[in-house]
């Protein structure tokens, strides 16, 4: 069974028709009482029956009146049978004696609990995400699952756990996606949740990680590891720049003929320049006084 539109009409017309029937019922009742007081026999009974039927019809018709709010849907059941949904806002007259269940079509957000999961490298991490969703199929939301809000919450936590197990916290290879790659991970989480919640008539608009950290028991060790990795990366960049600067200096000295260097002196100059450029502290110049007076 699929989503379909239920029969509806303007509620004010229905209310007006019900009031007219009530007035007719009252007139018929008064006329039957007048005929009874005048000694009529068969006539007043007929009018009384007509009055009762009109009154019952009016009351039954009024049970179909309902108000549908903006971004809201009414799922209509007639004695247990689904006959359609109504999502046009306003005052409406629906099928009398029907059961009307309200389903909100507004955009909602849900934040998962902070979960403790082992990432792809086996490191325990704490992770949480926020999910933005809305109902697009009121029939599935009402009948495909028991409670669509609880269903979204459970599937969101399952998707976050699965995401954390297939990606590491930090990617040490350039071609590997980590949990810290916000846009890529958010897209994967959104697509997985869309597949998981389609059964309940839910459209996941966006899903993003809101909290990501190593578990407390390994946080300090991982902080040291991250600092070491950053130091190594910085040193690598410094060395690459220093090598380029040394090569440039030697080439300029040779081109301009400032000094003639043999292999031994060239090696010594390279060593000194690398020490100056790659050192993490300020260098102190040392003058060989013996060579000055030789």
Question: Do both 202 and 125 map to the same domain?
Answer: yes
The per-residue pLDDT for 233 is 67
Claim to verify: residue 199 and residue 278 sit in the same structural domain? no
User: What are 8-40's pLDDT values in tens digits?
Assistant: 888 888 888 888 888 888 887 777 777 767 665
Task: Return the structure tokens found at 160.
Answer: 């976050």
Among 196, 86, 71, 69, which Cα is nearest to 144's?
196
| Residue found by looking up tokens 């260098």 in the block | 283
What token pair was written down for 138? 């009121």
Is residue 53 one of the residues assigned to a domain? yes
69/146 same-domain check? no
Q: What is the pLDDT of residues 255-294, one digit of tens each?
A: 766 666 666 666 766 676 666 666 655 555 655 555 444 4
- In tens, the pLDDT along 154-166 reads 999 999 999 999 9
For residue 68, being part of any structural domain is answered with: yes
Domain containing residue 142: CATH number: 3.30.479.30
Q: Are residues 263 and 279 in the same domain?
A: yes
H or E segment to which residue 29 belongs: helix 11-37
Q: Looking at the domain assignment, is residue 4 inside a domain?
A: no
Nearest alpha carbon to residue 85 among 12, 143, 134:
143
Q: Is residue 278 part of a domain?
A: yes
Beta-bridge partner residues of 65: 93
Q: In the predicted model, what is the mean pLDDT of residues 100-111?
A: 93
In a domain, 132, yes or no: yes
> What residue numbers bound the domain in which 203 lies?
108-214
Average pLDDT taken over every residue of the chain: 82
Q: pLDDT at position 66, please?
A: 92
User: Which pLDDT score is estimated for 3?
Assistant: 83
The verdict on 229 and 206 lying in the same domain is no
Closest CA to 207 of 68, 103, 108: 108
* 210/134 same-domain check: yes
What's the confidence (pLDDT) of residue 293? 46
**pLDDT value at residue 187:** 93
Domain end call among 87, 104, 121: 104
Q: What distance in Å separates the CA atoms of residue 277 and residue 63, rounded to the nearest whole number?
A: 87
Say what percent of the chain tops pLDDT 90: 39
Same domain, 116 and 90: no
Tell me if 1 is assigned to some domain: no
Tell me if 19 is assigned to some domain.
yes
Clarify whether residues 86 and 157 are in a common domain.
no
Cβ distance 115 to 160 under 8 Å? Answer: yes
pLDDT at residue number 207: 94
Total number of domains constituting the chain: 3
Question: What is the number of H-type helices and E-type strands within the chain?
Answer: 8, 10
């Amino acid at each position: 069974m699929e989503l379909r539109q239920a029969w509806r009409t303007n509620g004010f017309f229905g209310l007006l028709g019900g009031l007219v029937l009530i007035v007719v019922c009252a007139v018929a009742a008064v006329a039957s009482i007048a005929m009874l007081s005048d000694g009529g026999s068969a006539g007043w009974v007929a009018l009384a029956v007509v009055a009762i039927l009109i009154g019952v019809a009016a009351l039954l018709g009024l049970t179909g009146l309902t108000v549908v709010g903006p971004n809201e849907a009414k799922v209509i059941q007639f004695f247990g049978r689904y006959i359609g949904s109504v999502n046009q806002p306003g005052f409406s007259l629906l099928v009398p004696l029907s059961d009307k269940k309200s389903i909100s079509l507004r955009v909602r957000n849900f934040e998962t609990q902070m979960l403790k999961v082992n990432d792809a490298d086996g490191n325990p991490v704490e992770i949480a995400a926020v999910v933005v969703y809305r109902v697009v199929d009121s029939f599935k939301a009402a009948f495909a699952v028991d409670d669509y809000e609880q269903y979204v919450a459970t599937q969101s936590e399952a998707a976050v756990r699965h995401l954390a197990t297939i990606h590491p916290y930090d990617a040490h290879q350039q071609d590997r996606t980590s949990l810290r790659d916000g846009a890529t991970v958010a897209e994967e989480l959104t697509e997985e949740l869309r597949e998981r919640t389609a059964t309940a008539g839910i459209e996941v608009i966006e899903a993003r990680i809101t909290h990501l950290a190593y578990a407390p028991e390994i946080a300090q060790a991982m902080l040291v590891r991250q600092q070491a990795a950053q130091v190594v990366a910085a040193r690598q960049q410094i060395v690459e720049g220093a090598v380029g600067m040394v090569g440039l200096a030697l080439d300029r000295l040779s081109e301009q003929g400032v000094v003639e260097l043999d292999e031994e002196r060239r090696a010594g100059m390279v060593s000194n320049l690398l020490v100056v450029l790659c050192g993490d502290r300020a260098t102190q110049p040392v003058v060989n006084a013996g060579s000055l007076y030789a």
